[in-house]
Amino acid sequence: GAVVSQHPSRVICKSGTSVKIECRSLDFQATTMFWYRQFPKQSLMLMATSNEGSKATYEQGVEKDKFLINHASLTLSTLTVTSAHPEDSSFYICSARDPRRGYGYTFGSGTRLTVV
Amino acid sequence: AQSVTQLGSHVSVSEGALVLLRCNYSSSVPPYLFWYVQYPNQGLQLLLKYTTGATLVKGINGFEAEFKKSETSFHLTKPSAHMSDAAEYFCAVSGGRDDKIIFGKGTRLHILP
């Protein structure tokens, strides 16, 4: 149980285009999901907290107009990287907590974004 | 606010030797503490977590960690290292059940044959 599916696992896009990454909780409902970004050989940096039915809460320094987050249902949150640039290339990971299982979050398998 | 400091970005141990990965935290509220493992180009897997209660927490793959409030530490140990333990390990802290998780910078564990 407590499976989080992230799609796509890898994506290559051209500069200036937009890319959407999906995060789904497969067997539970998640009112809150988190989006992280990880640069090579570095830690996970929290980008934003995605709340179902309301606006996401962004961490300081994260451009909310560039990284659009939509949490339209209790099982799906999406992160859209708009007008992508090479510096947006990174590993993006989502996580969600299954409220039935107490504490601890389940993470998706991540999305490797490469902007060329 | 919460933060985590992991001492040592790289740790090397011989196969069969004790593994010790250090983590110190800072939290303005009683912390929830986690250790995660990450293999290359993969997501994170929870090794163990401390929320309340017993301060010695046992996790998967033979790992355990002890919450020491007086030392603000949550070090990860394993009595005998295995080659398959080579990975990146992240200590993390949360301010509560529904709070965001903040990660340390990670420690790369190398296992020497």
A24-74, pLDDT tens digit by residue? 999 889 888 999 999 887 889 999 998 888 889 999 999 999 999 998 889
CB atoms within 10 A of CB B12: 13
Query: Cα distance from A83 to chain B (closest Cα, Å)?
Result: 24
Q: State the Cα–Cα distance between residues B107 and A83, nearest whole angstrom.
A: 33
Best mutation target, A34, A103, A114, to test chain B (most B CBs within 10 A): A103
CB atoms within 10 A of CB B15: 13
Query: Cα distance from B73 to chain A (closest Cα, Å)?
Result: 19
Q: Are A65 and A72 in contact (CB under 8 A)?
A: no
pLDDT of residue B32: 92
List A residues 75-104 in contact with B (Cβ-Cβ < 8 A): 91, 93, 95, 97, 102-104
Give the closest of B45, B100, B104 to A46, CB-based. B100
Secondary structure class of A86 (helix, strand, coil): helix
pLDDT above 70: percentage of residues in chain A: 96
Please report residues of A whose CB lies closer than 8 A to that of B45.
Answer: 107
Distance set, CA A72 to CA A26, A110, B29 (Å): 15, 20, 31
Q: State the Cα–Cα distance between residues B98 and B113, nearest whole angstrom.
A: 42
Q: State the Cα–Cα distance between residues A37 and A19, nearest whole angstrom.
A: 15
pLDDT in tens, A80-93: 999 999 999 999 99
A20 by Cβ neighbours in 10 Å (0-12 / 13-18 / 19+) ranks as middle
- Determine, for residues B46 and A104 on separate chains, whether the beta-carbon distance falls below 8 Å: yes
Over residues B90-102, the mean pLDDT reads: 86
Give the closest of A104, A106, A109 to B42, CB-based. A109
